[in-house]
Each structure stands twice: as C-alpha cells, then as structure tokens.
Amino acid sequence: MSKKQRFILAFIVAYLIVAFAWWAVLLNNTMKEAHKAQTDTLVTRLLLEQQIDPETDYTQHPSYLSLAQSFAHNRRMLLGEALVIFTSILVFLAVAYRILRLEVSAAEQQSNFLLSITHELKSPIASIRLILETFQKRRELPIPTQEKLATNGLIETDRLTALVNDLLLSARLETSYQLNPEPIDLCSVLQETADKVLHKYPEAQIKLDLNNGLPPVIADRMGLFSIAVNLLENAAKYSQPEPRIELTAYQAGTQEVIFTVSDNGIGIPDEEKRRIWSKFYRIGNEDTRATKGTGLGLYIVRQLVLLHRGHISLEDHQPGSRFIVSLPIR
C-alpha cells in the first residue's frame, strides 16, 4: 500500500474514532441535562405537594431514587451500546484493511507478473532475432564469431525454455502436480546441481560440505532438482560479482535430512522474509531491478518442499542469506 493510501486510511480511522467519541460525550451530556431537568421538575412537584420541605434531602425520597436508578440504567445501556458499536467499527476497519491489503498485493502481483514476464519473454526473443538477422545479412562472418553467436542464441533459448517450464510447473503445482517418489541420494543431486550452476555462473565458488553417509530420501527426482537449482541459482544471482556459496547436507535425528544453501549476497530484509515465497513476488521495484527473474523460483521451491511434507526456512547469514530445507527421510 502506498504512503498516500495509508495516510488516507489513517485519516478515515482517526476521523471515525473522534466522531464516535464526540457523539458519545454529547449523548452523555444530553442525558445528564435531561436527568437534571427531570430532577428539578420532581423536586418542584414534591415541594408543591408538600411531600418534602426545602430543608429535606430529596435524594432519599423514593421517587428520586427510582429516577436516579433509571438514569444509571440508561447510562449503563449507553456505555454498553457505545462499546459494542466501537468494537464493531474496529472489527469492520480491521476486515476492510485486510481485504484492501489483499487487493493491493494481488494488483501488485499482477503488475509484477506482467512487467517481469514481458521483459523475460521479450529480451530473449529480441536477442534471437538479432542473431538470426546477423546470420542472414553477414554470411561471411568468421567461424569463431558464428560459433559465439550460435552459443548466445542457444543460451537465450534455454532462458525461454526455463521461463516456460517455470510457468507450467507453477500452474501444475496449483492443480495436478503428482510426486513420483523414489529413493534418491540427496548428495549426488546436490553435487550435480552445483556443477550445473557452476556452468551457468562460472564466477561462483561453491563449497560443498556433504555428509556422504546420508540415507536415501524418498522424493520426487525432478522436484528435488528443481528445489536445489532454484536455491543455488538465486544464491549465485544475488551475490554478484563474487558469489561464494556454501552447500551443506546432514542428517537430523532419525527422521529427516537437512540441506542448507548459504551465500554472501545482498541478503533479504526482515520485512521481506515472509513475502518472497509468494508467486511473482520480487523485492523492490521491477523497473529498477538489476537482476533477471520472474518471482516464481521461491514459490515453486516452497510448494515442492511442502508437497514432500518438508519444511523450508530462511535466516540471515553475515553477509547474505541462508536457506534451510528439511525433508523427511520417508
């Protein structure tokens, strides 16, 4: 929610509370005045009927006592109603605020989705087009240049494929993703993933601390690869220019294995730690963000970990972040 929207909301809430308090005070004063007028009329009537004389304490007279009782009763009723209305206003405002926040976050997600997907789709297509045009116009290009261009084109098609796969996977995770469980050696999956990420980010250093005696986990191979690749690629992507990544895996108790991915990157601020798991969520403003991405990676990771009845958490790692994934052994 923007600052302006927050200010308007705070103003409306403050206005409602002040208006309500003012109304309650006014009603109370009016009741007091009415009670005073009724008391004066009663005292005059009692004097005229000579039921009391000017020296008598009229507050002990049964007629006054019943009037005072009814006044006290009305005040209690007013206070009770005021409390009920006030609580209802607060509950209503809390619900309205929640709905508004959900709406705003859905709108933000939608706009993030459009901005990042458009960018992620357009830029590889533009690059591939440029490469093909170059080949078309300049057939005499030296072989090494041709090879370089072809490699770049392939990298761009890989990027497109990864994007389409992520989109399809995230849609399937919401509807029909079926785990295909089998015994898997977690260490070999992590080792393979690290090699793949190193190939894509040669500037990264990945330190592996894998307990090779780990029992196999019963998991979905594709899913496990996807979890590891996303976490390791993020670690490399958000720790430029010199990513130093640590990958550990160990057994905790008899029931679970844990693997962690730590990096020396930009870290994740506390207020973002809950949001980053949402679909299409990326920290900061899409226009100013330097890194490429769609905001799908951590959403996919979390959904896959949950499907495996596992748990994922995140903590600060000075400097950088550490993601901790725990998976049940079976």
Q: Closer to ligand ADP at the Cβ: 268 or 312?
A: 268
DSSP calls for 185-243: -HHHHHHHHHHHHHHH-TT-EEEEEE-TTPPPEEEEHHHHHHHHHHHHHHHHHTT-SS-
Q: Would you tell me which residues interact with ligand ADP (CB under 6 A)? A: 230, 234-235, 238, 263, 265-268, 276, 281-283, 293-299, 321
Q: In the sheet where 244-252 sits, what is the strand order?
A: 205-210, 244-252, 256-262, 321-328, 311-316
Query: Nearest approach, Cβ of 310 to ligand ADP (angstroms)?
Result: 18
To ligand ADP, the closest distance from the beta carbon of 87 in angstroms equals: 39
What is the nearest approach in angstroms of ligand ADP to the Cβ of residue 158? Answer: 15
| CA–CA distance, 129 with 61 (Å, rounded to integer) | 101
CA distances from 162 to 39, 103, 141, 154 (A): 84, 29, 30, 12
Nearer to ligand ADP, 228 or 235 (CB): 235
Judged by CB, which is closer to ligand ADP: 40, or 242? Answer: 242
Name the residue nearer to ligand ADP (CB basis): 46 or 167.
Answer: 167
Least CB distance to ligand ADP at residue 276 (A)? 4
| CA neighbours closer than 13 Å in the CB half-sphere of residue 218 | 6
Closer residue to ligand ADP (CB): 64 or 238: 238
Which amino acid would we find at residue 293?
G
CA angle 66, 71, 76 (to 5 degrees): 125
Q: Least separation, in Å, of the C-beta of 223 and ligand ADP?
A: 16
CA distances (Å), origin 313, targets 74, 173, 191, 267: 56, 20, 21, 14
Strand 256-262 versus strand 321-328 pairing type: antiparallel
Q: Minimum distance between the CB of residue 80 and ligand ADP, rounded to whole angstroms?
A: 50
Q: Which is nearer to ligand ADP, 61 or 275 (CB)?
A: 275
Distance CA 155, CA 161 (A): 10
Closest distance between ligand ADP and the C-beta of residue 267, in Å? Answer: 6
**Residue whose CB is less far from ligand ADP, 46 or 283:** 283
